[in-house]
Structure 1
Amino acid sequence: MLRKLFALLLVMSGLTTLPCTAADITLRLAAGTTGNHRYYHALLTEALKAAGHKVTVEVYENLPQTRILAYLDIDRLTAHWMLQTPERDTLYTRVDFPLTQGLIGQRVLFVPKGTEGIYANVKDLAQFRELGKTAGLGKGWFDVSIWEANKLSYVEQAGEWRQLFSMLAAQNRGVDYFPRGASEIGAEALLHPELAIEPNLLLVYQRDFVFYLSRGNAHLKPVMEAALRQAEKSGLQKRLMEEHFGSALQQLNLDKRVRLKLLTP
């Protein structure tokens, strides 16, 4: 009996100390063409290092979204940052920490150059809806449920979502605007000078990016959560957000835009 009790105490001790125990961690992460991935890579690696872990990063360059999900399914990627959804919660292990402090849920519109004036007099969601304009969204994105819930017109692009940039610029593919997160659109605008950032509106919903771990890496959940929470507390996350997004956010003038609050299902 005493031997069993001693063994149980050892197991419980290991469970309670595991998240704080330093370890060697290899992260296999995806990288995109815009450079937005650098923030998420930096936040995760620097947070883990600050928590005492030795971190090695292996990067997969320019993966389309479909390949990212496939790599998560087979543990070729350790984790990826995505909007939190109930479906993803069933497929992967969610790391409970808001990665952009809500910025990704503040949507700014890409529009074809010369069409910015269409939105200049919009003061509320009803007026925006009455314009009858159609958003371009990726197939299966959480935004699809948002646009449906708010009775906004949209088309879904199957396959490579980045084709939406050229579809929007063509002005003959049924796409009038492309909503992007405030933390994304600045870097993307540099790659797409044929498009304009609409200057008046900010569409807002309550969601954020979180890291999702592949099933084979689910054991890293408590380690990552502890490290990321400490990164928030220490100011590391705030510093990295300013470093990676600060300049672009200033140019967006978010505080001066008309905020259209979207219903989040």
Structure 2
Amino acid sequence: MKIVLSIICYFLLINSLSAQTVFTTRGPETANDHRYEYQHRLIELALQKTVDEYGPYRLLQSRMGANTKRAMVEVEQGYYKNYFVANAVTPERTQKMVAIPFPIDLGILGYRVFFASTQTLARLKSVKNLDQLKEFSMVQGIGWNDTEILKKSGFNVVEASNYHGMFQMVANNRADLFPRGINEFLNEWEANKKIKNLAYDENLILYYPFPKFFYTTKGNEKQADRIMKGLVAAYKDGSLQGLWQSQYQASIDKVNMMERRILSVRNPDLAEIDPSYAQYFYFASQAGTH
């Protein structure tokens, strides 16, 4: 009798797993990389909100180690089942892949503070305008859209492949500034503050509108619709904002934006993009600054 029950339970489990739709989110680049945890939890929230309409799901993560450029290639090629990766909005991406037009971090990533060496910070204190800021080099990751935005705005940009190494680069004066979103700042400072000579600026913010969308493979429109419906539902009932605040509010508060000078540049990638995403921006007054 026990054997019969075990067999029945086994087949029930197999049937249950087969009825679940598998989704995949981006895994970390390194063991100490926590940047994509919010994205994973956000996809999970969207899936939870849509179970009644679309059915059960199973959420996985991609293998560790892929940088942003590689992750987007994997999305375009459909490397994983129902693979959703967040990245900046560009016309090219919206044409090559299926984009979900919801700014996953509510547009807050467009506000940047600077990691730098203690020597660079002493020079940075005298900066009052964009022309003066352009005298400082910026380090960015290979494949990051910030690189082109900053270059087109007249900045000297140094590209690097290793995320954690960029903090070392500015601490060692191999580049002047490493701009990071005010939502990313606190976790990154806590993770890297033991690096000798690393510090952060407390006076400036560089702003450019920078919505990030989830992307998935062409042909995956049905599951993209599910994620969009789930995100909007979570936004309307406040659960998305609750997740967002639990992840980012402490960092935003630590930055103390009201005491900083904000310098703005354009994001030319948004000129051809439907601006309806901006209704979900945390600071709606900045949403239209293209």
- Pair in the same fold by TM > 0.5: yes
Does the 8 A contact of 2:184 with 2:251 survive in 1? no
Q: Secondary structure at the match of 2:65?
A: coil
Q: CA deviation at 1:104?
A: 1.0
Q: Secondary structure at the match of 2:33?
A: coil
Question: Following superposition of structure 1 onto structure 2, how do residues 95-244 of structure 1 map, counting pairs within 5 Å?
Answer: 95-129=100-134, 132-157=135-160, 159-171=161-173, 173=174, 175-193=175-193, 194=195, 195-215=198-218, 217-244=220-247
Which residue of 27, 44, 66 corresponds with 1:31?
27
User: Which residue of structure 1 aligns with residue 16 of structure 2?
Assistant: none
Whether 1:56 aligns to 2:71 is: no
How far does the alpha carbon of each residue in 1:100-122 deviate from its partner, in whole angstroms, 9 at most, with x for none? Answer: 11111111111123432322232
31-40 or 234-243, larger mean C-alpha shift: 31-40
CA–CA distance in structure 1, aligned partners of residues 64 and 253 of structure 2:
28
- Which ranges of structure 2 fall in alignment gaps of 5 or more residues? 1-18, 269-290
Does the 8 A contact of 1:34 with 1:191 survive in 2? no
CA–CA distance in structure 2, aligned partners of residues 88 and 29 of structure 1:
18
Does the 8 A contact of 2:24 with 2:60 survive in 1? yes
Q: CA deviation at 1:176?
A: 0.6
CA–CA distance in structure 1, aligned partners of residues 226 and 124 of structure 2:
45
How many matched pairs?
238
CA–CA distance in structure 1, aligned partners of residues 227 and 129 of structure 2:
40
Does the 8 A contact of 2:87 with 2:215 survive in 1? yes
- Amino acid across the alignment from 2:159: E
Q: Secondary structure at the match of 1:27?
A: strand
CA–CA distance in structure 1, aligned partners of residues 142 and 72 of structure 2:
13
Q: CA deviation at 1:61?
A: 4.8
CA–CA distance in structure 1, aligned partners of residues 260 and 252 of structure 2:
12
Q: Secondary structure at the match of 1:115?
A: helix
Identity %: 25
Which residue of 80, 83, 103 corresponds with 2:85?
80
CA–CA distance in structure 2, aligned partners of residues 42 and 118 of structure 1:
40
Question: Under a length normalisation based on structure 2, what TM-score does the superposition of the two structures give?
Answer: 0.75
User: Which residue of structure 2 aligns with residue 249 of structure 1?
Assistant: 252
Q: Secondary structure at the match of 1:148?
A: helix
Shift of the 110–64 alpha-carbon distance from structure 1 to 2, 3 Å rule, reads farther
User: Which residue of structure 2 aligns with residue 14 of structure 1?
Assistant: none
User: Which residue of structure 1 aligns with residue 274 of structure 2?
Assistant: none
Does the 8 A contact of 1:108 with 1:181 survive in 2? yes
Q: CA deviation at 1:152?
A: 1.4
User: Which residue of structure 2 aligns with residue 8 of structure 1?
Assistant: none
Does the 8 A contact of 1:31 with 1:59 survive in 2? yes
Q: Secondary structure at the match of 1:215?
A: coil
User: Which residue of structure 2 aligns with residue 9 of structure 1?
Assistant: none
